[in-house]
Every structure is written in C-alpha cells, then in structure tokens.
Homo-oligomer: A and B are copies of this chain.
Amino acid sequence: MRVANFNGGPGALPVEVLEEAARDMLDWNNTGMSIMENSHRTKEVMAMAEQAQADLRSLLGLDDSWAVIFCQGGASLQFAMIALNFAGPGGRCDYINTGLWSTKAYKEAQICGAKPRLAATSEEDDFTYIPDAFDFDPEAKYVYLTANNTVRGTQWKHFPPNPPAPLVADMSSEFLSRPLDLTHFGLIYAGAQKNVGPAGVTVVALKRELADKARLDVPSMLSYPIYIKNDSMYNTPPVWSIYVAGLTFKWLKNTIGGLAAIETLNRAKSEALYQAIDGSQGFYRGTARAASRSNMNVTFRLPSEDLEKKFKKEAQDEGMVGLGGHRSVGGLRASLYNAVNQEWVKKLIDFMAEFQRKNG
C-alpha cells in the first residue's frame, strides 16, 4: 500500500511516473532493453534527453539565451562549481545566508579559494525569515541565495530587485513549484530529488553570457562550458535519473498543466496546513515568520519533544511518513512537493485535529 509521503527529500514522485518507469523496465521505447542498458549515444536516448530539456524549457519559459545542462553530485557539487567557474582564487562573490544550505555554499566557496562575503543573513534570528535589505558588493561576480530553505521552512517571495551581479540560486526544494521571473538570474539549479526525480542528477539552467565568462582552469567535470559544449554528454550522463526527471517534466506539463497550475495546487496545500497550525490556539506552532513561510516545507513544533515523537509515531502508524524535522533542528516538517497530493494533506490536517483533541 502506498503511503502519504511528506519526506523532505528524496521526496514523493508522481505515481504515473513510477508506473511508466516500471512498465518499460525490460523494454524501453521498443529497444528491447531497459533504458539503463541503452548506450547514451543512441538516437533514442539522445531524443529522450532532448525532450526532457525541451519540456523543461517550456515549463520555465527559457529562450536560447539560456543553456540547460544535467550534472551530478547534487547541490554540494554546485557549491564548488559556482565558486570555481565564476569567482576563482580570490574572486569576490556575495552570499545571502538563510540557513544550512547557503552556509554550506558559502563555506565551499572558501574551500575553493574564492572570497565570499555576506550581503545579508538571518542567522541572528535563527534563520526564521528571509532578509529584505542587502549590503551588496558592487564588485561581486554573482549574488548567491537559496530560494527555499528546506530545513527552516522559509522561502523567498520577492527576490532582490536590483542585484549588482547575476543572481545564482539553489532552487532544489522548490524547483518547478511556481512560475518565476528570471530576469535578474544568471544561474538556477536543483538537485532532482525533491520536486523532479531521483537523486543523482542536478538540473542547471544558466545564461550563456554568464557561462561565457567561466574560468577554464577547473576540472572538466566541474566546468559549465564543457557541459554546455557537449550537451551534458562529455561522459556518460546519469541516464536513468534524466529519464525519470523527464517523465516528471512531462507529467507537470501535460497532466498538471504547467507551473501556474501547480502553484495553485501547492498554495492550496500549504495554506490549508498553515491554517490548521494557526487555528490550533498554540498547540501547533509554525517556526518561520509568517511573511517568509515556505509553500514547500511547512515546519512546526508541538508543546514538547515527547509529543512530537508521539505525533510522528502515530502519524506513521496511519500511513503518513517523513514528518520529522531536519536532524539539525528537530521538530516537525511536512514537505509538500509537487507530487504530494491534496488528499494526503487533508489526511494530515484531520490527523492533527484528532491528535490535538487527544493530547491538547
């Protein structure tokens, strides 16, 4: 029996996607093999990867001034690639620190020899909000931010309006969850395992004019220009992960109807859940400031850690999993990624009311 999956990542995938992947496992696209057994240089696999890219471009509205590539290594490898390609030794770059992942990105830039600098941070209030005032370095090569903070349950509503350099954003946990104005962005990326597909592929879209400025003294597998020049096939790409991501793009485009449609669904889910929290007379307590609340990761606490433990246990017994907060902060978290459906959220809200009635 399928459970209600509120995992923070890897997270839920559309059941239609899984069914198609299972159905075609022994004979994909009339090749007489699994897609994992096909050479990546066959016309069938190339067409699959091109279709995935075309669907992604269509969803995000990317014209040819953008390149789209598929990398490996997750956000953590992007932390290094961004600093190595666009800052380099001693290169200046601005970071906006909104939690664990931007902190890691900042530290990785230091490891890579760049000179990162904080343009803003919400650390003084335990990362409960998204800053709206920035001290930008006019010489920065880029401005880095994390669009949605999986751990803290905060999300940018309005990105910095006048950055001095291209915005570079980790969108892992909100990728393709809402339409975005990408005017000021130079690069966006997402580890697939939240909203897109299986862990093992990182989707990157970057402006070609930014890529043209990349340093060339970096390892080949960390060089954006090499990915672009080779259409992400400098070496064997993670074909299975691109394939499942492509099925998810297709589902989002054709079954759901695109980013505006999924945003409506996602808002309905998170608003219902926040309403349940706010209407609980303090039994459930959201951890993020209201104006910065994420539509993807709803973080909350109960009156005690014992009750939180009991909550997780009883929810699990009723088929709702992944409700524990990130190990670095504890508490509870319901991740409402694109493939989390309305019924699961309804079930969770009903459970919360019942749990409060019994334990409140």
Please give the residue numbers on chain A whose beta carbons come within 8 Å of chain B beta carbons, in ascending order: 1-3, 5, 7-13, 15, 18-19, 21-23, 25-27, 31-34, 36-41, 72-77, 79-80, 84, 108, 111-112, 191, 193, 197-201, 217-222, 234-241, 244, 319, 321-322, 327
Contact = CB atoms under 8 A, between A and B. Distances in A.
25 contacts: A1-B32, A5-B32, A9-B39, A10-B38, A10-B239, A12-B37, A18-B26, A18-B34, A21-B25, A36-B197, A36-B198, A36-B199, A40-B199, A72-B73, A72-B200, A72-B238, A74-B236, A76-B221, A77-B221, A108-B220, A111-B217, A111-B218, A111-B219, A112-B219, A200-B239
A198 B13 contact: no
Contacts of A22: 22-23, 25-26
Contacts of A222: 80, 219
Q: Which of A8, A75, A201, A238 has the most CB of B within 10 A?
A: A238
Interface of A is mostly: loop
Nearest to A4: B32
Contacts of A3: 31-33
A221 B73 contact: yes
Given A26-B18, A321-B32, A7 B37 contact: yes
Contacts of A319: 32
Contacts of A219: 77, 79-80, 84, 108, 111-112, 222
Among A23, A36, A238, chain B packs the most CB atoms within 10 A around the CB of A36
Contacts of A237: 199
B72 A191 contact: no
